[in-house]
Amino acid sequence: MLELLAAEGKRDGKDYTSDLIHSQVLPSYEDESLPGVRFYRKIMANYTGLPATTEKGYTPRRFSYVSFEGFLNGVMLGEMVKRMADDPKPERIPEIMSSFRDFDLGIDVSVTFDPVSHQGLDAVYFTTVKDGRSQPLNDWERWRK
Q: What does the angle CA 5 – CA 63 – CA 51 come to, to the nearest 5 degrees?
A: 100
What number is the average pLDDT over the span 103-122? 88
Confidence class of residue 107 from pLDDT cuts 50, 70 and 90? very high
What number is the average pLDDT over the span 88-95? 91
- Looking at residue 37, its pLDDT comes to 96
Residue spans per domain, the chain: 1-25+124-145, 32-48+59-121
3-state secondary structure of 124: coil
Confidence class of residue 51 from pLDDT cuts 50, 70 and 90? low
Any residues with CB less than 8 A from the CB of 105 and at least 6 apart, and which? 36, 72, 75, 76, 111
Q: Please, is 68 exposed, middle or buried when counting C-beta atoms within 10 Å of its C-beta (0-12, 13-18, 19+)?
A: buried
Summary mean pLDDT of the chain: 87
Residues 19-42 have pLDDT tens digits of: 899 898 899 898 999 999 999 999
